[in-house]
Amino acid sequence: MTAHPIRSRVVALMQALQSEICDALESIEAKQGSTARFGRDSWSRPGGGGGLSRVIADGAFLERGGVNVSEVHGELDPAFAGSLPGSGPQFFATGVSLVLHPQNPHVPTVHANFRHIQRGPVAWFGGGADLTPYYYDADDRDRFRQVWKNVCERHHGIADYEAYAAHCDRYFYLPHRQERRGVGGIFFDNLEIGADREHAERVFAFVKDAGQAFLSSYLPIVERHLDTPWTAEQKAWQELRRGRYVEFNLLYDRGTVFGLRTNGRTESILMSLPPTVRWSYCFEPQAGSREAELLEVLRTPVGSSAT
């Protein structure tokens, strides 16, 4: 399989995004008086490639966070290959993936990933970012979405914000709960780059812009809520909602499935799971509470004006 000409630049971008994001998050920890920092854990994949996992835990800001980069290649499991574009057994994949679980229940969890995959002659990008709050704040939702809308509009003809936002709402959905995981963002997949160099450059420019926009989408939300006092009851609610996060990642998340089905590193794949979680039998929050408000938003049917 001949590497797409853009591959080396994509790998460099993913590595640069990892460093930039970790540095910014560590800066917040330092401002909070925390000594927590991201570790560096290099790993190799049997069959080809490897990556660098950077995980932080027990900080003043982040209870756990992971920002991973991988660059893997080899042969696909024939049973899995049929679910991917392209042809033949050979594949290459690189990307950056992050999940941040804050200590404070008033600060949302956030996820983002940007990836490049090639199978045979077909190469494409996918990724996005989504926000998972524990207490609903319309301003946070709107500001987060606006950043991604601005990115897409800067790359008109390549990116389609309305389609990507709708895809995000449909994708991050738990059908067995009839709930969305969070309040949206963007999600795109199978954004092919083809052999046309000009088109490939335009797609790469969009993905680069999106990756570099992550911090501006999330850090203002962190700053708004990081010092908000919280109670033990609010922490318990956060842990209950984290259970929904675990359910989605283990049952539906394509990145988790891709990593496990291509013999990726299990510890790095599952770093997205929060450290403390709870499930309560048939729990429903008190009517009119802020907890109930969140559920009302998340249970609103996808595509309604309220979303």
Q: What is the CATH number of the domain that holds 110?
A: 3.40.1500.10
Q: How many domains is the chain built from? A: 1
Give the residue numbers spanning the domain of 227: 7-298
Please tell me the distance from the alpha carbon of residue 282 to that of residue 97, in angstroms, as a whole number: 33
Which amino acid, one-letter code, is at 41?
A: D
Burial of 105-144, coded b for 16+ CB within 10 Å and e otherwise, reads: bbbbbbbbbbbbbbbbebbbbbbbbbbbbbbbbeebbebb
For residue 262, tell me if it sits in a domain. yes
237 pLDDT exceeds 50?
yes
For residue 2, tell me if it sits in a domain. no
pLDDT of residue 224: 97
Q: Quickly state the pLDDT bin for 78 (edges 50, 70, 90).
A: confident
266 pLDDT exceeds 50?
yes
pLDDT of residue 303: 62
For residue 304, tell me if it sits in a domain. no
Please tell me the distance from the alpha carbon of residue 115 to that of residue 17, in angstroms, as a whole number: 12
Whether residue 111 lies in the annotated active site = yes
300, 292 in Cβ contact below 8 A? no
Q: Nearest CA to 256 among 133, 118, 111, 144?
A: 111
Tens digits of residue pLDDT in 159-217: 999 999 999 999 999 999 999 999 999 999 999 998 788 999 999 999 999 999 999 99
Tens digits of residue pLDDT in 275-286: 999 999 999 999
- The answer, as to whether pTM is greater than 0.85, is yes
For residue 56, tell me if it sits in a domain. yes
**Which residue in the list 4, 111, 155, 225 is annotated as catalytic?**
111
For residue 77, tell me if it sits in a domain. yes
pLDDT of residue 73: 92
